[in-house]
Structure 1
Amino acid sequence: MEVRLKILYTSLCHTDVYFWEAKGQNPLFPRIYGHEAGGIVESVGEGVTDLEPGDHVLPIFTGECKECAHCKSEESNMCDLLRINTDRGVMLSDGKSRFSIKGQPIYHFLGTSTFSEYTVVHVGCVAKINPLAPLDKVCVISCGISTGLGAMVNVAKPPKGSTVAVFGLGAVGLSAAEGARIAGASRIIGVDLNPNRFQEAKKFGVTEFVNPKDHNKPVQEVIAEMTNGGVDRSVECTGNVDAMISAFECVHDGWGVAVLVGVPHKDAVFKTHPINLLNERTLKGTFFGNYKPRSDIPSVVEKYMNKELEVEKFITHQVPFSEINKAFDYMLKGEGLRCIIRMEE
């Protein structure tokens, strides 16, 4: 049930940086990072029937076995077998790595390890896509773009004409804003501590900008005043627990829905008054935008092909693989959104 992929393009996502910095997890070493990528199937292992050499694919950090209760549910994409596992550095079939150096194993990351010319991935974590789609563009759909877009269109589901707040204007937050724009929201309020992000955010449909540092009261109160009682929908993309609380408390009573996307510190606790829920606000969480990788991601690529979804504006830099450290520099300095790394020089 394994596939060997030739990676043509990969991009750097903040999750790679977070694990590379080894903050708050059990670090595995040595390990090949990378999980947002596009490539071509080079060969397939036994049991693989829906992929063949030459297929254009996106490897994805979470999977879809198609057989467990989650995969059979229309509501869930949290596959029992293949959901994200940040600690596992080996393949499921035999508990071993497919990479080695001088006889010693090199561990896998998120089941993908795309900072490599070739990688081996479980078939359930591979989405077969339109071969006409440019892999140097659609590779970003394999993680960040789908996470934000799906959080908005699949989970928040803003009605046409509604008001929406997006907390955090990195690539994921901007893809959530893009989803709100596609859904026909009338106001999209971007919330971020970095004022430099507002100009960029306008390209993604953000109409107003709130910097919590500019106000001497909680940002949820500022947003409630701006919107006559609160926004219809909010999506939180920072992972900061205070931002999560603000995102929930800034939605309108009676019908407001807040969706949490960002991953918090493992010890963080979400606190709010239960009356906020009793007053008919809804709090939801989502993982990978509620997309099932194999079933749903090919259609997101088609949205790009049909010009409904623009991905070029997320791509701000390109480097050859030999200069991958530049991609880390851009992200650590907060310059740009996505840097595409070309595997072939």
Structure 2
Amino acid sequence: METAGTVIKCRAAVTWCVNEPFSIEVVEVAPPKAHEIRIKMVYTGICGSDDNAVYGKFKDMQFPIILGHEGVGIVESIGGGVKGFKPGDKVIPLFAPQCGQCRCCKDPRTNICTTARMERPKGLMADGTSRFTCKGKKIYNFLNTSTFTEYTVIDEIAAVKIDENTALDNISLIGCGFSTGYGSALNAAKVHPGSSCAVFGLGGVGLAAVMGCKAAGASRIIGVDINKGKFGLAKELGATECINPKDYDKPIQQVLVEQTGGGLDYVFECIGDTETMQAPTHEWRVAAINSSHHGFGTTVIVGVSAANKTITFDPMIFLTGRTLTGSVFGGWKPKDSVPKLVHDYMEKKFDLDKLVTHRLPFEKINEGFDYLRKGKSIRTILRF
């Protein structure tokens, strides 16, 4: 492309300080260096993790920063040594990269890449520099991706090529929300046919978990949320029933244990609220762990909590057979699995459109986050 090798000036949503709204700015995006690719973004989704970042809830995050991690775009140019990508390729940026060479990438038990997690400086490229500047200031990147910009530069291990015939309007959800929830049921929990499940938090990730439970053959899927406006969609996507904890005068974990004959086979915490993960018994917010069956229940922590939050529980609750586990990006090894998920979407094995409640032009990003904070949206997709 004509822009290859040059600095590109484009619009980006810059977060200058903690707790400040997004500011649409003109930024300079430098050409990709070795093993990097520059992407022209087409769509990007708004995720709750981006909102947590706005409030500074992630450890070691630096400002000013370009957030966003759930997107899809087209390769504009590539740096030296890049293999498997060329200008014009459709790609999904990966907040959970896959180098393919580290011990974790070679082990089927995990999808956490040691190279990306341990060897890359946070908020910067592999060489310790940034490709973004604005008003003479260095701008940091977010989760290897930074999709709230018309152009972004990422490491080649943090992108995956998808089918050139893929329609891009919904596919950004595979970059985070859908894959995270759907995979938590299929990969992390390994939900079995005929089982019982509960999903706490019916946002985009939680609803995708509902879809995953249904795809795995669960016979009872209970959605739990304080927003009854989400119940209709949850049932349409596979929930057999929905519960609002505020409707009961006792802890919701007690309600669920009573209604399921001792607890659920699988429980998914999709909020990132530590009090939801393990709430004191006098609070209405359920302790997801205590909702699982005492003899064989599995609880999967999916939601991302603030960096300074912890949970405390009696270890004896695991003695009889409960399991507690977690899941990042649904347990998918992204380079291997994302193209397959895209193929399944194209084959209509699942419907992403039902998860999208709002579509807005990029410049209305603050409006999209307002919908999220007020509980009015499941997923908002921004178009460039």
> Which residue number in structure 1 is paired with residue 350 of structure 2?
309
Residue number among 252, 255, 270 corresponding to 1:219 in the alignment: 252
> Which residue number in structure 1 is paired with residue 47 of structure 2?
13
Shift of 1:101: 2.4
> Which residue number in structure 2 is paired with residue 273 of structure 1?
314
Shift of 1:188: 0.5
Q: Secondary structure of the equivalent of 1:83?
A: helix
CA 1:45 to 1:24, structure 2 compared with 1: closer, same or farther past 3 Å? closer
> What is the correspondence of 1:76-225 to structure 2 with a 5 Å cutoff?
76-83=110-117, 88-92=122-126, 94-225=127-258
Q: CA separation in 2, counterparts of 1:87 and 1:95?
A: 6
CA 1:161 to 1:199, structure 2 compared with 1: closer, same or farther past 3 Å? same
> What is the correspondence of 1:32-43 to structure 2 with a 5 Å cutoff?
32-43=66-77
- Asked if the contact 1:220/1:249 (under 8 Å) is kept, the reply is yes
- Asked if the contact 2:52/2:58 (under 8 Å) is kept, the reply is no
- Asked if the contact 1:86/1:109 (under 8 Å) is kept, the reply is no
- Asked if the contact 1:191/1:210 (under 8 Å) is kept, the reply is yes
> What is the correspondence of 1:43-54 to structure 2 with a 5 Å cutoff?
43-54=77-88
Q: CA separation in 2, counterparts of 1:321 and 1:162?
A: 42
Give per-residue Cα distances to partners, 1:23-60, cap 9 Å, x unaligned.
46555222111111001111111121111111111001
Which 10-residue stretch deviates more, 298-307 or 98-107? 98-107
Q: CA separation in 2, counterparts of 1:142 and 1:312?
A: 15
Give per-residue Cα distances to partners, 1:101-133, cap 9 Å, x unaligned.
244322211111111111101111101111222
Shift of 1:273: 2.9
Q: What TM-score do you get using the length of structure 2 for normalisation?
A: 0.85
- Asked if the contact 2:40/2:152 (under 8 Å) is kept, the reply is yes
Amino acid at match of 1:129: I
Q: CA separation in 2, counterparts of 1:214 and 1:85?
A: 48
Amino acid at match of 2:367: K
Q: CA separation in 1, counterparts of 2:317 and 2:303?
A: 21
Q: CA separation in 2, counterparts of 1:209 and 1:2?
A: 45
Task: Give percent identity, aligned residues only.
Answer: 45
Shift of 1:8: 0.7
Which 10-residue stretch deviates more, 23-32 or 169-178? 23-32
Amino acid at match of 2:172: C
- Are positions 1:323 and 2:364 aligned together? yes
- Asked if the contact 2:61/2:123 (under 8 Å) is kept, the reply is no
Residue number among 263, 275, 291 corresponding to 1:230 in the alignment: 263
Q: CA separation in 2, counterparts of 1:27 and 1:17?
A: 13
- Asked if the contact 1:19/1:25 (under 8 Å) is kept, the reply is no
Q: Secondary structure of the equivalent of 1:63?
A: coil
Q: What TM-score do you get using the length of structure 1 for normalisation?
A: 0.94
> Which residue number in structure 1 is paired with residue 295 of structure 2?
254
In structure 2, list runs of 5 or more residues that go unmatched: 1-34, 279-286
CA 1:87 to 1:313, structure 2 compared with 1: closer, same or farther past 3 Å? farther
Give per-residue Cα distances to partners, 1:187-214, cap 9 Å, x unaligned.
1101112222212211221111122222
Give per-residue Cα distances to partners, 1:268-309, cap 9 Å, x unaligned.
333333332111111111111111121111111111111111
CA 1:114 to 1:130, structure 2 compared with 1: closer, same or farther past 3 Å? same
Tell me the number of residue pairs that the alignment of Structure 1 and Structure 2 aligns: 342
CA 1:265 to 1:320, structure 2 compared with 1: closer, same or farther past 3 Å? closer
Q: CA separation in 1, counterparts of 2:317 and 2:249?
A: 22
- Are positions 1:74 and 2:108 aligned together? yes
Q: CA separation in 1, counterparts of 2:311 and 2:141?
A: 32
In structure 1, list runs of 5 or more residues that go unmatched: none
